[in-house]
Structure 1
């Protein structure tokens, strides 16, 4: 069914296609840490998120290696991680941690970095790393799995750009946590599929200034949700608008 034919009163969650975003299976990887116990690097990274504390991610975060980052489409996904097979460094009393992907651990093809393909690697905040392992370990073997993201409040949409190049950052997405497709609708237009720009930024060249904005999100678990009239007709660039809905 074409999007333009769907009723605007549709707020109900529905399935688009089956995808295994939430996975009960454990997979082998490795982990390091960045920053300090207070965060150190909690501002905008390769996902496009701003201040991670203000946006609700805090220190429960990780950067992903290229093999996991998926060109930014994994931004917002949540992972359960446990330290394994290293009794010298693993903290036995802690079973696991749950973190949100908020950045890229960039590859370094010169020195064989752990973040180079095809390594599956997590660069955790120092606080999260030292929750499951001793600081002096530096790097540890871990296992991970995708888990649902538990978020407080509705999905948020930050608007940037100019009248002829609207960019939308989507964050605070629950359940799958990531965004695989974003469509926008002005109060005077039909549904417009936006283009993935970088991280969790999506853009369109259609001028939507002066129109109420609605959004349609598809996540990697095959679910979709419509957010009707999230931004009023007098919305402004640089502002964030929060829906009352979440996955």
Structure 2
């Protein structure tokens, strides 16, 4: 069989990335947080003039504590959000069962306000009443802006946050773990990691790779400068 001819005037098929926040958000947020947290932590402790062994111990403790905190926080956050959405969906389901005409009219009114002709809006809203599952999905989408059936996994969010925070947090520790006891080398490696993370994010946001990388580098540098200054002041006063 020959393939069907393609009309050259029709637009080429295209696909969109998943922008619902599913797995990209906890992974990116975890990695960025791990990098910035441990870069700032190492800068602050290093500014206080502690030895390399203490600095590494502090960095490892920050990695473990931060990864656990991120994982638990993401799990609780996503699960709570899912439970709230399910409660609101159940409320909307009850309203559709008790007041179908009023709900159909409300849906049609929202479409009319957005420019749809009244007759067409009423026809579509009434047609949805014959398909309760689809009616619920459309009402939830229109009124709350969420999908009634597609919910992110709290376990996936927790695991991704834990793993990527750990990866980000270990980057500025690498020079010490490899035997290079130099704070500025560690901060430089951490800054390079931040720049690469920003470049990676640019693949999904369509921003210029270098502006995205520099943005993350500057934000991390500001955090490191603040904690380094505080660490230096405390170290001097303690001495």
Q: TM-score, normalised by structure 2?
A: 0.21
Q: TM-score, normalised by structure 1?
A: 0.20
Which of the pair has the greater relative contact order for Cα pairs under 8 Å at 6+ separation? 2
Q: Which structure shows the higher strand fraction?
A: 1
Larger radius of gyration: 2
